[in-house]
Amino acid sequence: MEFRHTMKGRKALSAVAITTGLLLTVAGCGGGDDDNSGNGAASSPSTSANATSDKESKAPEANTVLAEVKGESGVTLSILSAKRDEGGFVTVEGTVTNGTGGALAMGNWRGDERELAKNGGSMAGASLVDQAGKKKYLVLRDTSGRCLCTQFTGGVRQGATTQWFAQFPAPPAETTEVDFQIGAMPPASIEISEG
């Protein structure tokens, strides 16, 4: 008998705890100030305005081309951003457009090092050159030799534009201009921004 009463008590306590938790959750998520005099109504427009202004200020950045080079029978390489990150590296992003007469395998962009051969068609052979500091920075790799960069699985179809990225060790903080180089493409001078 005592065991049965104990189980009933536990069930009752569990039901009360669950109900209380649900009520607190519903009360916390409510936020329905109908009279527009609460903090929720006052903060909503400013939050919305900030979000809109952030989107507007970032939109042109995506369309900004830092550099564009043409070469290799109709291939166009565009660099859209080069940002220095807190982790001590620089991330370069852009697009590549295949203007050749057929599919582009990108095999000659993977680099000459034996370690990079397993990356296939990729941005693994890219480098940043600091002309003032007379230093060359190669794409970062993991312990297996895979580059921290885009791998073009299946290549780039004729007429297609594909996005890419590549990460490099960061040059010294005073270095803001570098040349981006890959394959037989001409070097592209870019400015590194703080990320």
Question: What are the angstrom distances between the C-alpha of 195 and each of 2, 46, 66, 81, 147?
Answer: 66, 25, 15, 10, 21
Please tell me the predicted confidence (pLDDT) of residue 73: 81
Q: How far apart (Å, rounded) are the C-alpha atoms in residues 123 and 130?
A: 19
Report the alpha-carbon distance of residue 180 to residue 112 in Å, rounded: 17
**For residue 119, what is the enclosing H or E element?**
none
Please give the Cα distance from 115 to 141 (Å, whole number): 10
| pLDDT, position 190 | 97
* Mean pLDDT split into 10-residue runs, the chain, 195 residues: 52 52 47 46 42 39 82 90 94 95 84 78 93 94 90 90 96 95 93 89
Question: So what's the pLDDT on residue 162?
Answer: 94
Tell me what pLDDT residue 52 has: 40
- Domain 64-194: top CATH class: mainly beta
**pLDDT confidence of residue 24:** 45
Q: What is the pLDDT of residues 60-102, one digit of tens each?
A: 345 689 999 998 688 999 999 999 998 899 999 999 999 988 8
d(CA 24, CA 47): 25
Per-residue model confidence (pLDDT) at position 116: 75
Predicted pLDDT at 10? 55
Residue 121 has a pLDDT of: 87
**Every domain of the chain and the residues it spans:** 64-194
